[in-house]
């Protein structure tokens, strides 16, 4: 396989367009107009604006992580303590409120990004038989717009269920829109992703800093896996979704590779734009990644960091008990550091006993700011949305459902990197493998934006039996320290509709 080199995408669109009003209507270059798409260069600049939607503070720079991690059942908020901070009483206890600020912002940024993609889709015509570089380039721009729209709606439908399906540039006449059925939203996602994989440049030919068409294949594989275990009113009973997921995932298999060292993934210098990364959000000195502050403890560096997300104790315990010699543990959990203000060592669980809220939870080390001399509090670490190890675990899960005999091969590729063999549960039949692979996603991908979705993908009973009850009944559980996850209530499967949408959209009242 050729070495795939992807470099940092520098966004040059003026920042005035990305701050301020939360309206769905935006000024050029995101609205259709002759100059925005009169040349391929201009069209690509508009596409940069679409991708810039992902790097906003309300999205991947902060609130996507805070919302989905905090509400996943695996994390608590470090902003306060167990009994006083509303995010621990609500969001992290699986009881988020419609007016939760992070939920409001995340909703708005999704639709802003969709709106920008809609402008391109409405303005760029597909070249059916492209011959010239410009014709191929315009198709690629259009393909990316379809890809980003599909990705955002896939997030929205899983997070909120029924949502407005906006497919045209928003006008005064269309700003009020009712929610669409989940089945219809999934149909649109599949249609958009299929357009994307047809139009985007394939791996090795994609423009520097952008995902290739194979990212759309991976998105489709995830969609089909979600539909395979979805309620009957969402899926088509005549479709073999596991086979569809397999077919899409195999289009990606072998075109990327695992990094030799798992820890390299989480460094700013070695983890950006590698052969393992299939789709990542590009941060840079113009748009730095704020999420380092979110995961790095206060005073762990010379800059301002917050440590606003921390990991529940039983999540660490399960990993350490299952694979005690796993090198991923040291790269995932942080329980000891030097306070840069006073030089003292700070210890939290498991390096010390769970005496109080402050000492009760490890930090996520993946996005921890490794440079203690960083005075800015931010860095240029990209956020990897899809990577090859995830694809291999998906293929292992899919193959187990299809019983095609390939599941252990894909799993072993992931475990070989960290010097492990499959844990015993994998060898207890199809159901045992199923349970074990769902845990493997945690061990490999904890905190990478998939936990909320993987925890709920197999339905309420799975979420309750594998996340909620194990947390509330864990040997380390302490009601004075830990949040109590809401039990026996299927409302935990979706986020509440944001108050701002209920208050401003006349077609929605709940």
Query: What would the mean pLDDT of 473-497 be, rounded to a whole number?
Result: 96
How far apart, in whole angstroms, are the C-alpha atoms of residue 145 and residue 9?
16
Mean pLDDT of the chain: 92
Contact 396, 410 (CB under 8 A): yes
Residue 116 has pLDDT above 50, yes or no: yes
Which of 25-34, 187-196, 306-315, 420-429 is predicted with the least confidence, judged by mean pLDDT?
25-34
Spatial CB neighbours of 249, under 8 Å, sequence gap ≥ 6: 217, 218, 221, 391, 394, 395, 398
DSSP 196-227: HHHHSPPTTTSPTTS--THHHHHHHHHHHHHH
DSSP state of 15: G
CATH number of 15-249+498-504: 1.25.40.390
Residue 206, both tokens: 């994609």
Residue 381, both tokens: 């670490």
By CB atoms closer than 10 A (0-12, 13-18, 19+), residue 506 is exposed
pTM assigned to the model: 0.94
Residue 358 has pLDDT above 60, yes or no: yes
pLDDT tens for each residue of 240-251: 999 999 999 999
Query: Is residue 82 very low, low, confident or very high in pLDDT (cuts 50, 70, 90)?
Result: low
pLDDT tens for each residue of 397-436: 999 999 999 999 999 999 999 999 999 999 999 999 999 9
How far apart, in whole angstroms, are the C-alpha atoms of residue 506 and residue 510?
11
Which of 29-43, 131-145, 292-306, 340-354 is predicted with the least confidence, judged by mean pLDDT?
29-43
Spatial CB neighbours of 15, under 8 Å, sequence gap ≥ 6: none
Residue 8 has pLDDT above 50, yes or no: no
pLDDT tens for each residue of 161-177: 999 999 999 888 889 99
Query: Is residue 225 very low, low, confident or very high in pLDDT (cuts 50, 70, 90)?
Result: very high
Query: What would the mean pLDDT of 241-266 be, rounded to a whole number?
Result: 98
pLDDT tens for each residue of 297-352: 999 999 999 999 999 999 999 999 999 999 999 999 999 999 999 999 999 999 99
Query: Is residue 33 very low, low, confident or very high in pLDDT (cuts 50, 70, 90)?
Result: low
- pLDDT of the residue at 14: 32
Domain boundaries, the chain: 15-249+498-504
Query: Is residue 79 very low, low, confident or very high in pLDDT (cuts 50, 70, 90)?
Result: confident
How far apart, in whole angstroms, are the C-alpha atoms of residue 292 and residue 502?
33
């Amino acid at each position: 396989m050729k070495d795939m080199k992807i470099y940092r995408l520098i966004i040059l669109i003026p920042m005035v367009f990305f701050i301020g009003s939360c309206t769905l209507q935006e000024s050029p270059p995101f609205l259709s107009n002759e100059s925005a798409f009169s040349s391929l260069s201009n069209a690509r600049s508009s596409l940069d604006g679409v991708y810039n939607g992902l790097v906003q503070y309300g999205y991947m720079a902060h609130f996507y992580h805070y919302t989905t991690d905090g509400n996943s059942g695996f994390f608590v908020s470090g902003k306060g303590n167990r009994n006083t901070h509303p995010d621990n009483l609500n969001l992290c206890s699986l009881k988020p409120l419609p007016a939760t600020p992070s939920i409001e912002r995340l909703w708005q940024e999704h639709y802003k990004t969709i709106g920008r993609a809609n402008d391109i889709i409405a303005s760029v015509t597909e070249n059916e038989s492209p011959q010239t570089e410009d014709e191929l380039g315009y198709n690629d721009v259009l393909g990316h717009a379809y890809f980003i729209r599909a990705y955002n709606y896939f997030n929205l439908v899983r997070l909120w269920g029924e949502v407005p399906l906006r497919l045209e540039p928003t006008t005064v006449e269309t700003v009020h829109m009712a929610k669409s059925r989940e089945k219809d939203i999934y149909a649109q996602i599949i249609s958009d992703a299929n357009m994307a994989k047809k139009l985007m440049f394939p791996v090795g030919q994609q423009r520097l800093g952008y995902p290739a068409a194979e990212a759309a294949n991976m998105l489709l594989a995830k969609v089909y896996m979600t539909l395979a275990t979805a309620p009957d009113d969402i899926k088509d009973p005549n479709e073999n979704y596991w086979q569809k997921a397999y077919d899409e995932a195999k289009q990606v298999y072998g075109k990327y590779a695992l990094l030799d060292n798992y820890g390299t993934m989480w460094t700013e210098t070695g983890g950006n734009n590698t052969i393992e990364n299939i789709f990542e959000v590009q941060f840079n000195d113009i748009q730095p990644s704020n999420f380092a502050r979110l995961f790095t403890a206060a005073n762990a560096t010379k800059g301002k960091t917050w440590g606003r997300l921390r990991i529940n104790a039983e999540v660490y315990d399960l990993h350490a008990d299952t694979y005690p010699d796993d090198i991923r543990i040291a790269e995932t959990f942080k329980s000891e550091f030097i306070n840069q203000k006073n030089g003292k060592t700070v210890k939290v669980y498991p390096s010390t006993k769970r005496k109080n809220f402050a000492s009760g939870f490890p930090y996520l080390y993946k996005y921890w700011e490794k440079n203690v001399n960083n005075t800015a509090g931010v860095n240029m670490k990209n956020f990897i949305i899809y990577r090859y190890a995830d694809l291999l675990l998906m293929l292992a899960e899919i193959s187990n459902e299809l019983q095609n005999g390939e599941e252990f091969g894909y799993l072993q590729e992931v475990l070989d990197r960290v010097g492990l063999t499959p844990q015993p549960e994998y060898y207890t039949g199809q159901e045992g493998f199923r349970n074990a692979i769902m845990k493997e996603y945690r061990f490999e991908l904890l905190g990478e934006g998939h936990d909320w979705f993987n925890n709920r993908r197999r339905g309420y009973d799975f979420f309750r039996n594998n996340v909620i009850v194990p947390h509330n009944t864990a040997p380390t559980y302490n009601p004075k320290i830990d949040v109590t996850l809401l039990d026996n209530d299927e409302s935990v499967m979706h986020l509440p509709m944001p108050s701002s949408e209920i208050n401003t959209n006349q077609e929605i009242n709940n």
